[in-house]
């Protein structure tokens, strides 16, 4: 990426060390989902630090009714497309449903994603993932653990509901977070948890925390591309804001998102949960 096309001034690539330093410096991390080269390139220009190749592509690109039909081959295809459009952002790729049910299986599939262009893989789950994360970490594969509302387990959870509302479930989230960090997780993503819990978890763990519906105290934020430009289908989640408004183009929408996350005007109180 070049910050000024006329001067061709190269911007340094974002690495895991960059993201960890941003937590230390209290510099908010911005992440958006992308599934192709074109949007990825525009996100680079707008200053988005990390790209999530999300299994949300199942609904948004493939027209599925959930993330469950997405395969590891699908994830590799879209990760490679994002990689080709990327110049400096850190790429995180979702591991698809049942692609990491056993540690050795997870290692094989994580290797495929890394070879396709990912800098980190993301897995959904709690303490049961500790052995898997330990194995991946030992083999040099950075891991983001996704906790709280985990869409791949939505049928088990009984729907898309806020997690960690009781003291018991909040304590469990903290316990599992610490266990997964101890196992080697380099980043934690929390989805749909109370804002106050997002704050306490962020203060308790030494790795960057990313929130989606987790309040503004997490170290960074992520939104689904289609949601933040008003192309979501059906119900709009509470934590979503449409940035493609007031005459903005796509680049300006991404820039507005970066600015509002950085100055902590997004997410606002209206985007969080109690």
Reported as a single tens digit per residue, the pLDDT across 183-215 is 999 999 999 999 999 999 999 999 999 999 999
The reported pLDDT for the residue numbered 2 is 35
Among 45, 42, 40, 108, CA closest to 76: 108
Q: What's the sign of the alpha-carbon dihedral 82, 83, 89, 92?
A: positive
Active site residue 191: yes
CA 56 distance to own-chain centroid: 11
Checking if the pLDDT of 235 tops 80, the result is no
What beta strand segments (E) does the chain contain?
29-33, 50-53, 90-94, 120-124, 143-148, 187-191, 209-212, 220-223
Annotated catalytic residue, options 176, 191, 255, 260: 191
Its pTM stands at 0.93
Comparing 7-16, 21-30, 136-145, 247-256, the range with the smallest average pLDDT is: 7-16
Comparing 41-45, 97-101, 153-157, the range with the smallest average pLDDT is: 153-157
The reported pLDDT for the residue numbered 152 is 76
Comparing 58-72, 76-90, 124-138, 155-169, the range with the smallest average pLDDT is: 155-169
Checking if the pLDDT of 156 tops 80, the result is no
Cα separation, 71 vs 155, in Å, equals 18
Known binding-site positions: 55-56, 94, 122, 124
Average pLDDT, the chain: 93
The reported pLDDT for the residue numbered 136 is 98
Is residue 5 very low, low, confident or very high in pLDDT (cuts 50, 70, 90)?
A: very low
- SS3 label, residue 189: strand
The reported pLDDT for the residue numbered 159 is 56
Cα separation, 53 vs 207, in Å, equals 21
Checking if the pLDDT of 234 tops 60, the result is yes
Checking if the pLDDT of 1 tops 60, the result is no
Terminal CA-to-CA distance of the chain, rounded, Å?
39
The model's pLDDT over 213-229, given as tens digits with 9 standing for 90+, comes to 999 999 999 999 999 99
Known binding-site positions for Mg(2+): 55, 94, 124
Please state the φ and ψ torsions of residue 145, each to the nearest 5 degrees. Answer: -95, 130
Checking if the pLDDT of 118 tops 50, the result is yes
């Amino acid at each position: 990426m070049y910050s000024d096309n006329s001067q061709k001034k190269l911007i340094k690539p974002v690495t895991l060390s960059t993201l960890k330093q941003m937590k230390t410096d209290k510099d908010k991390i911005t992440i958006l989902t992308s599934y192709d080269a074109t949007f990825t390139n525009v996100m680079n220009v707008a200053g988005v630090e990390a790209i999530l190749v999300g299994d949300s592509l199942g609904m948004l690109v493939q027209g599925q009714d959930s993330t469950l039909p997405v395969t590891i081959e699908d994830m590799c295809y879209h990760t490679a497309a994002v990689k080709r459009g990327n110049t400096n952002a850190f790429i995180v790729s979702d591991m698809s449903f049942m692609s990491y049910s056993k540690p050795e299986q997870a290692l094989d599939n994580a290797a495929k994603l890394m070879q396709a262009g990912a800098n980190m893989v993301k897995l959904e789950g709690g303490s049961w993932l500790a052995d898997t994360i330990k194995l991946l970490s030992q083999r040099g594969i950075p891991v983001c653990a996704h906790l709280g509302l985990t869409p791949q387990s939505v049928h088990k959870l009984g729907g898309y509901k806020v997690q960690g509302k009781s003291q018991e479930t909040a304590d469990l989230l903290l316990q599992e977070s610490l266990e997964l960090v101890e196992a080697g997780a380099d980043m934690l993503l929390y989805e749909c948890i109370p804002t106050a819990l997002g704050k306490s978890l962020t203060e308790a763990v030494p790795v960057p925390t990313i929130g989606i519906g987790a309040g503004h105290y997490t170290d960074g934020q992520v939104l689904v591309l289609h949601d933040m430009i008003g192309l979501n289908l059906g119900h709009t989640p509470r934590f979503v804001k449409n940035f493609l408004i007031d005459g903005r183009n796509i680049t300006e929408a991404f820039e507005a998102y970066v600015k509002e996350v950085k100055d902590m005007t997004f997410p606002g109180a209206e985007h969080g949960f109690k």
